[in-house]
Structure formats: C-alpha cells, structure tokens
C-alpha cells in the first residue's frame, strides 16, 4: 500500500523524472538516500514501470495533429494492426475502444499530403472518421 510520501514522490517524478534524489528528498521531506530507496522500492514493486520523455511534435515539423476513429471492415483486425505497426512515424497512440469505432489513433503529420497518403493506405484496411486538433486547452 502506498503512503502519502510515496504518492508525493510519484507526483514529483511525474513532473520531472530527471530530478536529483537530493532535491526529490527535500520536496518530500526525506534525505536524498531515503528518497532513492523509496524510488527503488516503487520500481521493484512495479508501481514505476519506466520513465519517458514528452516530444514537441511541432519542433519535428509535425504540425497536423489528428484523432482518427477506426471502423474495421471485418472481424479480423490483424491486417489493420499490421499496417499500424508500419506507421509509427505518424501514430502517437493506438487505443482499442468501445462505443463509436473499434480503435482510436492519435497521429501527427508534417503536412496534408502525408495525411492524405496515410488515409488512402488506411482505407485498404478500415473505414475512418477524422478530427483534427485546432488547439490544446490547458
């Protein structure tokens, strides 16, 4: 069971996973060594599964942000899933969903031309409905 200190550690690590253990300890009222020990325990227990980075896609010239609802042609989804694996340069996330559609793709494209080509290839495996992002609300 996680205590209040563990929850604060997770909160601080989610803000900055590269924080120095001494600084983390100061933020959660522990020594750096005690904070490091707590983090190691959270990792060993599988609470912390890994660390990641957030990439600014616009800085990579991927200006077009889209959400694509997927409607599979038939009950065999493997051809679609195989196609998705080849498109990792555009697909940020692939969610299996219930409700409206079978899957929801979150994608980034450098231009409408890339988006159009992606959709033409996608249409060989599934129908879709697309929404593009105007701006992110904070």
8-47 pLDDT per residue, tens: 999 999 989 999 999 999 999 999 999 999 999 999 999 9
> How far, in Å, are 32, 37, 88 from residue 107 at the CA level?
40, 38, 9
Mean confidence (pLDDT) of the chain:
92
As a whole number of angstroms, the distance between CA 94 and CA 53 comes to: 18
pTM over 0.85: no
What would the mean pLDDT of 51-60 be, rounded to a whole number? 75
């Amino acid at each position: 069971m996680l205590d209040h200190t563990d929850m604060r550690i997770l909160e601080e690590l989610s803000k900055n996973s590269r924080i120095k253990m001494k600084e983390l300890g100061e933020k959660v009222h522990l020594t750096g060594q005690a904070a490091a020990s707590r983090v190691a325990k959270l990792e060993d227990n599988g609470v912390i599964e890994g660390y990641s980075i957030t990439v600014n896609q616009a800085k990579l010239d991927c200006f077009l942000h889209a959400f694509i609802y997927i409607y599979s042609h038939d009950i065999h989804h493997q051809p679609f899933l195989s196609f998705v694996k080849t498109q990792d340069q555009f697909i940020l996330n692939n969610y299996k969903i219930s409700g409206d559609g079978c899957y929801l793709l979150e994608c980034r494209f450098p231009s409408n031309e890339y988006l159009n080509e992606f959709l033409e290839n996608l249409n060989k495996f599934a129908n879709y409905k697309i929404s593009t992002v105007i701006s992110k609300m904070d």
